[in-house]
Chain A
Amino acid sequence: MTVDLAADAAAQERLCRFVAAAAGAGRATIAAIAPLRGGAIQENWSVDIDLEGGASSGRHALVLRTDAPSRVAASHGRAEEYALLKLARAAGVAAPEPLWLCRDPAVFGRAFYLMRRVPGVAAGHRIVKDLSLGGPRDALAERLGQELARIHAVTPGTIARLAPGQSFDFLTPSSAHPGLDRVRVYRRYLDDLGAPHPALEWGLRWLELNSRPASEITLVHQDFRTGNYLVDGQGLTAILDWEFCAWGDPMSDIAWFCAKCWRFGASDREAGGIAARAPFYRGYEAASGRPIDPASIHYWEIATHVRWAVIALQQAARHLSGAQRSLELALTGRLLPELELEILNLIDAAEGKAA
């Protein structure tokens, strides 16, 4: 069952009954509802709800997140993401506050949760161009480094204390060689997709031969980048999109943030298209006490482009298979050569070959 929440009065009624019960209110009514342009993987709705009675009486500005009709392998469902948001907040990360999770498919057709709506802009191409957003850019980069350090403070040793009673067995485990883990997974994905991709194989083989053990295994966000955080006129307001979290090498997140494919055209500002690397690294190193090793970052920037290329192929496959027809997904498939060129360039640089 798929529901168009804005047009379906019965679904809205079911949603209101769920919210009233979850919030301990006498009555809930929808004051406003509109679809949000979200990621390609889930659907987001902006919902204003009025609660009458109970401790949270009044108007609540919320976001409802539900699974999209088809999914990318390795992305968590909404129940897992809800648990991750709680974990992130317990770790001191500026994540949106998750409020109520509904697993009952009778309400909305799929699991969903509601979180408090945080004001701000996420669109990467706007943040990169519009300097009135996000406050002074070096300060924003430094703050993002600090936030990432807080995420990486979650380890297999600290997670139980941060989120007592919650199981995180759904997080993909990591061996001491996270790079080799990734190579195995991406090769399997490519084999499942069927078509040959020699340039990606070139990247995968390089990652296989040059993998080094991680100095530490921590929680990794795996999509920490410009486009997945919110800023207002002053600075950062929230870190978003927790659906790819796993255990892994913390350096992989730093490389993902800095990789060329996530600079939205501002290639010379190597930290996410917003600043130089220095303030981002400085914020991270100061908050984590963990030094950043440039060779490891180079390795993980190659891994970043390989991973994004594999995900782009999976996104395009969702369109091509007819599971979810979408021009955005279709065009994602045409990002491949750009990502592959960067893989070749980075490997040439590592091997001392001029491009």
Chain B
Amino acid sequence: MTDKPDGAALLEEARRTLVEVLLPLLPPERRYDGLMVANAMAIAAREAGQGDAARREGLKMLSALFGESGATAGPTTDLHAQLLDLEDRLARKIRAGLCDAPGPHRDAVRACLRRSVVARLRLSNPKALS
């Protein structure tokens, strides 16, 4: 069994305490540090709440781009390594000029990059998406 509240919920509550209770007590010259801590906790809480979802989504998308069907299940460590491998292949392809020609392939890469960036932005700074 898992004890409640879970890590993500604890983090969220700790952040609320920081922002509402502690931040007003900080001297002005330390306020920025307090805000940075709150920001770091918010990012960590969003990641903890989401688990592997972003990586699995990224893997699915990149696999589709490379015309591969597998590589969706498996433990987290494999997931990370597989994702890195596909990102590395895409990065090399772009650098080598293999995605230059205007047309469906370039647009597919364009769409894939945007979805990946937006998914990461949703974790790091969702306000930038509104």
Name A's B-contacting residues (CB within 8 A): 37, 187, 195-199, 201-202, 204-205, 209, 327-328, 330-331, 334-338, 340-341, 344, 348, 351, 353, 355
Contacts and interface: CB of A to CB of B under 8 A. Distances in A.
Contacts of B92: 196
A197 B113 CA distance: 10
B117 A337 contact: yes
A348 B114 CA distance: 11
A209 B109 CA distance: 17
Interface residues of B, number: 33
Interface in B33-92: 33, 36-37, 39-40, 43, 84, 87-88, 90-92
Most chain B beta-carbon neighbours within 10 Å: one of A197, A198, A204, A338: A198
B121 interface: yes
B36 to A, nearest CB: 5
Given A198-B87, A330-B40, A348-B110, 20 more contacts: A196-B87, A196-B91, A196-B92, A198-B90, A198-B91, A198-B113, A199-B116, A199-B117, A202-B99, A202-B113, A205-B95, A209-B100, A327-B36, A335-B124, A336-B120, A337-B120, A337-B121, A338-B124, A353-B110, A355-B114
Contact of A198 (B36, B100, B116): B116
A316 B63 CA distance: 29
A73 B81 CA distance: 29
Across the A-B interface, the 3 shortest Cβ-Cβ residue pairs: A337-B121, A196-B91, A337-B120
7 contacts: A198-B90, A199-B116, A331-B36, A334-B124, A335-B124, A338-B124, A341-B117
Given A327-B33, A327-B37, A199 B113 contact: yes
Contacts of A195: 84
Contacts of B100: 205, 209
A53 B90 CA distance: 67
B25 interface: no
Nearest to B127: A265
Given A331-B39, A337-B117, A337-B120, A198 B125 contact: no
Contacts of B116: 198-199
B110 A344 contact: yes
Interface string B12-40: 00000000000000000100110011011
A196 B36 contact: no
A195 B78 CA distance: 16
Given A198-B91, A337-B125, A338-B121, A205 B97 contact: yes
